[in-house]
Amino acid sequence: MADISTHEKPAEAAGTTLLSVRDLGKTYGAGPGEVEAIRSISFDVRAGELVCVVGPSGCGKTTLLKCLSGLLHPTSGSVALAGQAVVAPPKKMAVVFQEYGRSLYPWLSVRDNVGLPLKARRLPRGERDDAVRAALEEVGLGHALSTYPWQLSGGMQQRVAIARAIAYQPEVLVMDEPFAAVDAQTRADLEDLVRRVWQDLGVTVIFVTHDIDESVYLGERVLVLSSSPTVVQEDLAVDLPSERDQISTRALPRFTELRTHVHEQIQRAKRGDRTALPAT
Amino acid sequence: MRRIRLRPVLGALRTLGYAAGLPALALLAWALATDRSASLYFPPPATIADAFVETWFGPAFTEDVLPSLGRFAAGVLLSMVIGIVAGTAIGTTRWLRDLLEPMLEFFRAVPPVVLVPVLMLMLGVGDTMRIAVIVSGCVWPVLLNTVEGVRGVDTVLTETSRSYRVRGGLSLRYVVLPAASPQIMAGIRLCLSIGLILMVISEMFASSSGLGYRIVYFQRSFMIAQMWSGIVLLGLVGVAVAGLYGIAERRVLHWYHGMREVARG
């Protein structure tokens, strides 16, 4: 196995920068009560990449994600998607939230939950139905069209949320700790689903998680964030084979090396923060 | 198989027994208490039943009952429309809310009954005045509940809609109003019971038709059994309105009840 940190990317559109984050900072409040959530984050994501963002809890992952998706205005710096500054939720981006139970519309059937963003886009009914059906089949829920989200298990609800994102046909799929609230077995299935969707659709994925193993298993690249106020601690290429399997990939010595490395980075980030705090 | 099918039947019978048991008992108690008494004011149920049929299954149905129900329906529907439209506008627009909220609290606190003379001066003594009285009391629960419901939409849902660019009328129709619907329905339920009271009260002033007018007329003419039959009719109207509300609520909020059942189970 090659020990160098270059890695294979999907052939389509690889190489061009799709998302560009420059000196992004976010401070909540003002005056003596202000909280600096993110100090300065810069990174680029190329088209077709699968990037995991990992960091200690409370490091501003969700804040970063909200700035990326145009839901929150950064205090400083900028985000650009395909050269266009992101100031509002962009057309070509779909978001999967952590709280699937609160992110799906309980009064709409699964079909309408997935279809509503397409309706907002004025897609004709026939095309909309086809897109909804295809997306739900992709996540293995082709049979659940007319059920309501709350009639499904947590894992299935998150599949509906993923189907909604897929049907939206985004160029960038942003996921905020989407599997934090599901059990281990479901989580493993959903991780493989994300890999498959990424490979099938050639979409760029930014996957935020606090789980080190998950970030290494899923990602082609892992961005390690420091503790708050947050900077990018490390930008690590994951040189694991592109066909991944829950058992054999996780048993690879390289997987263990990488996860140990990320783990140490995060520990270092936490220590660094603790020693840095009294000085300021 | 047969045993299993018997269960829902027995269950329905039991529900019916519970629902009808107490009214039947109350009726029996009334009958026993009034059997020997010669009180003019408390006639036995049979007399009231006779008066009921005689009074209301005649011209009074078209002269009093229908106009009353029409005014009730107009007042309540108008309140719902005004309450939901204005409530949504106020709930989604911050400056409008800051501007109006103190004033709304004031007007809500004014008992609508005291407005009757004022409204009579302004609108005369016709149906418009009576509908205005109903609206002046009924609009508040719908309006204030809609404001609260629209304001209280879960932030994750709002962010989801924003990130998928579901906006404007579509967001109102498929996100904001459904999310607020449990609260709005609670407001409508209050609106209906207040509306019935105000319908009767508005007809007690300067009126020549309607249930409220007729009951007061019977009272003043010492037609006590007829008066009681009017009160019974009002109660039955109330039950029918509550029944219709129940049907509507089950349709509108089926997802809400289903979700709560799942959460409890």
A148–B255 CB contact, under 8 Å: yes
The reply to whether B255 touches chain A by the CB within 8 Å rule is: yes
Angstroms from A100 CA to nearest CA on chain B: 9
> Tokens 């007690």 label which residue?
B204
Specify the 3-state DSSP secondary structure of A69. Answer: coil
As for how many domains chain B has, the answer is: 1
- Per the domain annotation, does A137 fall within a domain? yes
As for the ipTM of the complex, it is 0.85
CB A76 within 8 A of CB A23: yes
The candidate with the shortest Cα–Cα distance to B85, out of B3, B205, B172, B209, is B172
pLDDT category of residue A104 using cuts at 50, 70 and 90: very high
Domain residues for A151?
103-169
CA A136 to chain centre: 20
The candidate with the shortest Cα–Cα distance to A37, out of A94, A83, A77, is A77
Helical H runs in A139-247? 154-167, 184-201, 212-218
The candidate with the shortest Cα–Cα distance to A245, out of A201, A195, A198, A184, is A195
Q: What is the pLDDT along chain B (265 residues), one digit of tens a residue?
A: 455 677 788 888 888 888 888 888 888 888 888 877 777 788 888 888 999 999 898 888 888 999 999 999 999 999 999 999 999 999 999 999 899 988 888 888 888 888 888 888 888 888 899 999 999 999 999 999 999 999 999 999 999 999 999 999 999 999 999 999 999 999 999 999 999 999 999 898 878 888 999 999 999 999 999 999 999 999 999 999 999 999 999 999 999 999 999 888 7
Mean pLDDT value across residues A53-72: 88
- Per the domain annotation, does B20 fall within a domain? no
A71–B162 CB contact, under 8 Å: yes
Q: How far is CA A198 from CA A94, A110, A242, A243, A250, in A?
A: 13, 22, 11, 12, 19
How high is the pLDDT of residue A10? 44
- Per the domain annotation, does A91 fall within a domain? no
- Per the domain annotation, does A156 fall within a domain? yes
Structural tokens at position B109: 């606190």
pLDDT at position A273 over 90: no
Domain residues for B233?
48-264
- Per the domain annotation, does B26 fall within a domain? no
Query: Which chain A residues are within 8 Å of B256, Cβ to Cβ?
Result: 106-107
Query: Which chain B residues are within 8 Å of A103, Cβ to Cβ?
Result: 156-157, 160
CA B2 to chain centre: 42
B4-49 pLDDT, tens per residue? 677 788 888 888 888 888 888 888 888 888 877 777 788 888 888 9
The candidate with the shortest Cα–Cα distance to A235, out of A103, A31, A51, is A51
As for how many domains chain A has, the answer is: 1
A195-242 pLDDT, tens per residue? 999 998 889 999 999 899 999 999 999 999 888 778 888 888 898 888
Q: What is the CATH number of the domain that holds B111?
A: 1.10.3720.10
Mean pLDDT value across residues A36-49: 91
